[in-house]
Amino acid sequence: MQIGLILVGFGNVARRFVRLLDERAARLEGEHDLTWRVIGIATRRHGAVRDLDGVDLTRALESADAGKSLGAHGESARDPLTSLFIRETVAAARQRTPDTPVVMVETTVLDIERGQPAIDHVRAALESGAHVISANKGPVAFAAHELLDVAARHGRAFFFEGAVMDGIPVFNLLRETLPAVSITGFRGVVNSTTNYIITAMEQGGEFGAALAAMQEAGVAEADASFDVDGWDAAAKTAALINVLMDGDVTPHAIDRTGIRGLTGEAVRGAVARDRRVRLVASAAWRDGRLAGRVAPEELPATDLLATLAGQQNALVLQTDLLGEIAIVQRGAGLTQTAYALLSDLVAVRRRL
Amino acid sequence: MQIGLILVGFGNVARRFVRLLDERAARLEGEHDLTWRVIGIATRRHGAVRDLDGVDLTRALESADAGKSLGAHGESARDPLTSLFIRETVAAARQRTPDTPVVMVETTVLDIERGQPAIDHVRAALESGAHVISANKGPVAFAAHELLDVAARHGRAFFFEGAVMDGIPVFNLLRETLPAVSITGFRGVVNSTTNYIITAMEQGGEFGAALAAMQEAGVAEADASFDVDGWDAAAKTAALINVLMDGDVTPHAIDRTGIRGLTGEAVRGAVARDRRVRLVASAAWRDGRLAGRVAPEELPATDLLATLAGQQNALVLQTDLLGEIAIVQRGAGLTQTAYALLSDLVAVRRRL
């Protein structure tokens, strides 16, 4: 079955995603009866392009890699233009080939104030009859319930595996492999940049140099505050609370302390006491309230979270039936993030 | 949708399974449109009972808990009688209610010589049109490909999540959440009894007392060799190789060293050097051959496997696309094992 893709955002993640689809094309078709065609691309600064017969991807990738405009429309797709572009593209595609499902792929940059304009993009896609897969945490961190309701009302899927721990299954893990289990709490290391900085300091490195290395590698955001002040971890914590524990919070409701206050001395002092500092994201029921927290914690060296080096992530889920289950991501990079979208796309295919 | 269940084996796991279904009945029906009726039970020593209208489970559980015969048939269901019982029960059920799927639940004791009679039970069920869920590792450790082929030929599901790490998703993890990913190797701690013994020795305990504690708790097999000589871990390693890596081995092909040779002195000596001994199950491609191995290994204290205490298990999967992914089971017990069957039953329901 062929699926029409609309890419909203065409940065590193989206470009790696379409290349990854290409690399795994034989398995996707052979094992999942899944082929695709990109019918639209919308970007913030490099215009938009639409072609129901299939966008010329080679040209689009070349233009984007070179930082040039996508051409076709010649104009940028600034919101609310992007939402309009999504609605029109979905409508045109559904009119022309009603049996070809459309999937909108959200990879715009997270806005930590309100999660916009990604929330509008997701709503526009679902309302006009497309499924949505998102590597952007904004929609699920700020508006999970509203958007899942919209999806259910329109009989469409809304998946977002990439919001936490890249393509390592977290949301899919619970949804697909742990039926009838409830999550009662969690703790994890979910931000790669801060874990890299902390473990570099354990080895004698200093904060600034480690942060610069992560920014150079394209892992840390250009705005260091996003990682260092715990905003990224708070957005992930909110997403996990909203989806795994049926909570209803935004990243601003998370009790958040970043790692700016950490010195190499303090981090190495912990090591000397056979302990480790980690930026821990957690959620628990306290006095009848579901409380989310992001803060540096000093852990025994044999704690699973303490063993995470560099960019490694892990999430320990507390369950009502199976005790604790942990999932650990030991490799990180653009491919892992792009893979989250691939696994979501297959999940959509399975629903059809 | 109602599913007819045939329980082959009615020991602790099967009994906990039917009680667990009952405890989670509302969620199974509400979230998965899944109800069930037990239409047959076959045991090795306590007879068999069949009732297409639904076996009286309260009575059957009471009889089994008390070690009494299930009554009805008055005779034990010795193989090949059990396979005949399965075929007849499936045929009768399908004739009477063709739209009600039948699932055979295999929980007989693992035979490490040949994996029998469980393999015959699975084949009989699949060939007569039932789906199969198995907590017994025998079929998948000894005959995975043959049985998966039989299942495919008859359009039936054959799931066995409980074969490794109880209900913690391993096979379901790969099948449901990691599409288009290949496993290139793995290492893990997959036997609870030996890990309990080793970590007890780290604390100053001795081998015999720790083993006795596990036998008393019903975790270790009565025949200590099964755990201590690495047979259980070898069966799990074979199952993982056959299913995750498309290998074709039996437990006898695994290079196997148990923990009988380990002394408390050696285990504590490793701790003194900031290292830990663990019974590691692993598989890797070596010189073009897929080699499985079970043996005690000395690991750095911060290795994920070294952090596993008591009955905890973990599996580190090496992948071609995402680097290493690990899944960790921190709680263990009868409920976890029974849950594997529940999650497999939901997976069957989703396939229908």
B35-75 confidence digits (pLDDT tens): 999 999 999 888 899 999 999 999 999 999 888 888 655 55
- Count how many Cα atoms sit within 13 Å of the Cα of residue B242 in the half-sphere of its side chain: 28
Q: Is B137 a catalytic residue?
A: no
Subunit contact B302:A304, Cβ cutoff 8 A:
no
Nearest CA in chain B to A340: B178
pLDDT tens-place string over residues A135-193: 999 999 999 999 999 999 999 999 999 999 999 999 999 999 999 999 999 999 999 99
- Count how many Cα atoms sit within 13 Å of the Cα of residue A237 in the half-sphere of its side chain: 31
For strand B275-286 and strand B289-300, is the pairing parallel, antiparallel, or unpaired?
Answer: antiparallel
Q: In the prediction, which pLDDT does B223 show? A: 84
Tell me the Ramachandran region of residue A323: left when phi exceeds 0, alpha when psi lies from -120 to 50, beta otherwise.
left
In this model, does residue A74 exceed pLDDT 60? no
Q: In the prediction, which pLDDT does B46 show? A: 87
Q: In the prediction, which pLDDT does A181 show? A: 97
Report CA dihedral (B298, B299, B301, B306) to the nearest 10 degrees: -90
Subunit contact A302:B304, Cβ cutoff 8 A:
no
Sorting pLDDT into bands at 50, 70 and 90, what band is B80?
confident
User: How is residue A254 annotated by DSSP?
Assistant: S
Choice between A73 and B229, residue whose per-residue pLDDT is larger: B229
Q: Pull the structure tokens for residue A152.
A: 């259910």
pLDDT tens-place string over residues B153-189: 999 999 999 999 999 999 999 999 999 999 999 999 9
Subunit contact A328:B325, Cβ cutoff 8 A:
yes
List the single range of A232-246, B142-156, B162-176, B209-223 with lowest mean pLDDT. B209-223
Q: b/e string for A113-135 if b means 16 or more Cβ within 10 A?
A: eebebbbbbbbbbbbbbbbbbbb
Subunit contact A304:B307, Cβ cutoff 8 A:
yes
Choice between A321 and B224, residue whose per-residue pLDDT is larger: A321
pLDDT tens-place string over residues B104-140: 999 999 999 999 999 999 999 999 999 999 999 999 9
Q: In the prediction, which pLDDT does B298 show? A: 97
User: How is residue B111 annotated by DSSP?
Assistant: P
Q: How distant, in Å, are the alpha carbons of A39, A91, A210, B74, B143 from that of A97?
A: 12, 10, 51, 63, 45
Catalytic hit among B137, B236, B256, B293 = B236
Distance CA B47, CA B265 (A): 48
Q: What ipTM does this complex have?
A: 0.94
A294-305 mean pLDDT: 96
Q: In the prediction, which pLDDT does A28 show? A: 98
Q: In the prediction, which pLDDT does B186 show? A: 98
Taking contacts as CB-CB distances below 8 angstroms, the residues of chain A near B348 are none
B136-146 mean pLDDT: 97
Subunit contact B335:A321, Cβ cutoff 8 A:
yes
Chain A nearest-CA distance from B51, in A, is 28
Taking contacts as CB-CB distances below 8 angstroms, the residues of chain A near B322 are 166-168, 329, 331, 335-336, 339
Subunit contact A322:B339, Cβ cutoff 8 A:
yes
Taking contacts as CB-CB distances below 8 angstroms, the residues of chain B near A323 are 329-333, 336
Sorting pLDDT into bands at 50, 70 and 90, what band is B219?
confident
Q: What is the mean pLDDT of chain A?
A: 94
pLDDT tens-place string over residues A34-64: 999 999 999 988 889 999 999 999 999 999 8
In this model, does residue A77 exceed pLDDT 70? no
In this model, does residue A221 exceed pLDDT 80? no
For strand B2-8 and strand A324-329, is the pairing parallel, antiparallel, or unpaired?
Answer: unpaired
Do A187 and A282 form a contact (C-beta atoms < 8 A)? yes
Q: Which of B27, B301, B314 sits opposite A180 (nearest CB)?
A: B27
Of B164, B217, B97, B84, nearest to B340 (Cα)? Answer: B164
Distance CA B350, CA A314 (A): 29
Q: In the prediction, which pLDDT does A72 show? A: 58
In this model, does residue A6 exceed pLDDT 80? yes
Distance CA B218, CA B234 (A): 20
Nearest CA in chain A to B325: A329
Q: Pull the structure tokens for residue A98.
A: 């009603």
Do A337 and A162 form a contact (C-beta atoms < 8 A)? yes
Nearest CA in chain A to B23: A180
Distance CA B169, CA B343 (A): 9
- What are the residues facing B5 on neighbouring strands? B38, B103
Do A154 and A126 form a contact (C-beta atoms < 8 A)? yes
Q: In the prediction, which pLDDT does B5 show? A: 98
Alpha helices (runs of H) in chain B, residue ranges in sequence order: 12-23, 25-32, 57-65, 81-96, 118-127, 138-153, 171-172, 192-202, 207-216, 225-228, 231-244, 264-272, 334-351
First-residue to last-residue Cα distance in chain B: 10
In this model, does residue B330 exceed pLDDT 90? yes
Q: 3-state DSSP helix/strand/coil percent for chain A, to nearest 5?
A: 45, 20, 35
Q: In the prediction, which pLDDT does A255 show? A: 98
Taking contacts as CB-CB distances below 8 angstroms, the residues of chain A near B24 are 180
